[in-house]
Structure 1
């Protein structure tokens, strides 16, 4: 183990396997969870003032029509703190199974960084494996 190239080959081999393993896991989790969260419907909605008895507790809220034509309100939607004012038109994402909860950001977008990080680690693992192969060759 006195040869520095052999040590470098072993280190890059370990990093390659670790990067590839973690990369595949993150990428698959991002794909599966992103796909599972794709069953959302979108609707055009509007930011409205909460009724007077709720205004102190909740502030502005979202109102939209669901697929069945029902009027839906959400007092605590994700993303309402973006500086939106009452009267602003927004795109609301909601699950048809639970149309009473709305979001301003599609949940599938939240899994993109995981997929990208998985691809980066997978690429790093592949490059490390190639580097360890060439570093391990006898001169």
Structure 2
């Protein structure tokens, strides 16, 4: 039984650290490709094709984007909103500065690395208790 537990802890250690490091690398690449998002104030307007938001970028250009259903629900009843637009891209906006996808992948990486750390701690406890 002890060898099965040792093997299981060893597997969790390797899987936690290796998969966590790999996914952390993926999160870093996603973060770099996500680009720079700058804050601004957007004006919301109802049109015949749905609700849109318009804003000025850092170069003074006017941008506009159609709101998704989730964004419409979050901004319901508002005439202006704090938004984030992507530097160098026209018509791209979101309501959060950080990407939810990047955040989710980073949390997964942290969780897997935490599993690896926990497995190392359990392995140490088993080593010193003779179990």
What are the equivalent positions in structure 2 for 1:27-106 lying under 5 Å apart?
A: 27-50=24-47, 55=48, 58-76=49-67, 79-85=70-76, 87-106=78-97
Aligned equivalent of 1:118, options 104, 109, 113:
109
Partners of 2:65 and 2:125 in 1: CA distance: 59
Ranges in structure 2 where 5+ consecutive residues have no aligned partner: none
Ranges in structure 1 where 5+ consecutive residues have no aligned partner: none
Q: 1:66 to 1:88 in 2, by over 3 A?
A: same
The residue aligned with 2:121 is 130
- CA deviation profile, 1:14-48 (whole Å, cap 9, x unmatched): 11111111111222222332244241222111111
Question: Given the alignment of the two structures, is residue 7 of structure 1 paired with residue 4 of structure 2, yes or no?
Answer: yes
Partners of 1:14 and 1:25 in 2: CA distance: 16
Contact 2:35–2:87 under 8 Å retained in 1: no
Number of residue pairs the alignment of both structures matches: 130
Structure ID, larger Rg:
1
Q: 1:77 to 1:62 in 2, by over 3 A?
A: farther
Q: 1:78 to 1:72 in 2, by over 3 A?
A: farther
Question: Given the alignment of the two structures, is residue 22 of structure 1 paired with residue 19 of structure 2, yes or no?
Answer: yes
Partners of 1:72 and 1:47 in 2: CA distance: 12
Q: 1:127 to 1:85 in 2, by over 3 A?
A: closer
TM-score by length of 1: 0.76
Partners of 1:38 and 1:60 in 2: CA distance: 25
The SS at the match of 1:82 is helix
